[in-house]
Amino acid sequence: MEKTFTVSIFTENSIGMLNRITIIFTRRHLNIDSITASESEVKDVHRYTITLKTTREKIDKVLGQIEKLVDVIKAFVHEENEIVFQELALYKIKTASISNGEVEQVIRDHHARILSVDPLFMVVEKTGHVADTQLLFEKLKPFGILEFARSGGVAVTKPMKELSTYLKELKVK
Partner 1 sequence: MEKLTGAQAVIQVLLTEEITTVFGYPGGAIMPIYDALFDYSDEIHHILVRHEQGAIHAAQGYARVTGRTGVVMATSGPGATNLITGLADAMIDSTPLVCITGQVSSKLLGTDAFQETDVIGISMPVTKWNCQITRTEDIPSIMAKAFYIARSGRPGPVLIDITKDAQFGVSDFSFEKCTHIRSYNPTPEIDYSSLEAAAELINQAKKPMMVIGQGIMLSEAEEALRTFADKSGIPVASTLLGLGAFPCNHPLFVGFVGMHGDYAPNIKTNECDLLIGIGMRFDDRVTGDTSRYATQATIIHIDIDASELNKIIPTDVPVHADAREALLFLTHLVKERSHESWVNEFKEAKQTEVETLSKGYANCDTQDVRMDEVIKLLSNLTHGESIIVTDVGQHQMMAARYYQYNKTKSNVTSGGLGTMGFALPAAIGAKLGMPDKDVIAIIGDGGFQMTLQELGTILQSKIPVKIVILNNNFLGMVRQWQEMFFERRYSFTEMISPDYVKLAESYGIQAKSIASKTDLEDGLREMLDAKEAYLLEVKVVKEENVFPMVPTGASVSEIRLA
Of 11, 40, 49, 97, which lies in the binding site for partner 1, with binding defined by CB under 8 A? Answer: 11
Q: Could you say whether residue 70 binds partner 1 (CB under 8 A)?
A: yes
x/- binding map, residues 23-62, to partner 1, per CB under 8 A? x---x--------------------------------xx-
Q: Whose Cβ is closer to partner 1: residue 2's or residue 169's?
A: 169
Q: Could you say whether residue 65 binds partner 1 (CB under 8 A)?
A: yes
Q: What is the 3-state secondary structure (H, E, C) of the chain?
A: CCEEEEEEEEEECCCCHHHHHHHHHHHCCCCEEEEEEEECCCCCEEEEEEEEEECHHHHHHHHHHHHHCCCEEEEEEEEHHHEEEEEEEEEEEEHHHHHHCHHHHHHHHCCCEEEEECCCEEEEEEEECHHHHHHHHHHHHHHCEEEEEECCCEEEECCCCCHHHHHHHHHHC
Within 72-131, the residues that bind partner 1 by CB under 8 A are: 72-73
Binding site for partner 1 (CB under 8 A): 11-12, 14-16, 19-20, 23, 27, 60-61, 64-65, 67-68, 70-73, 170
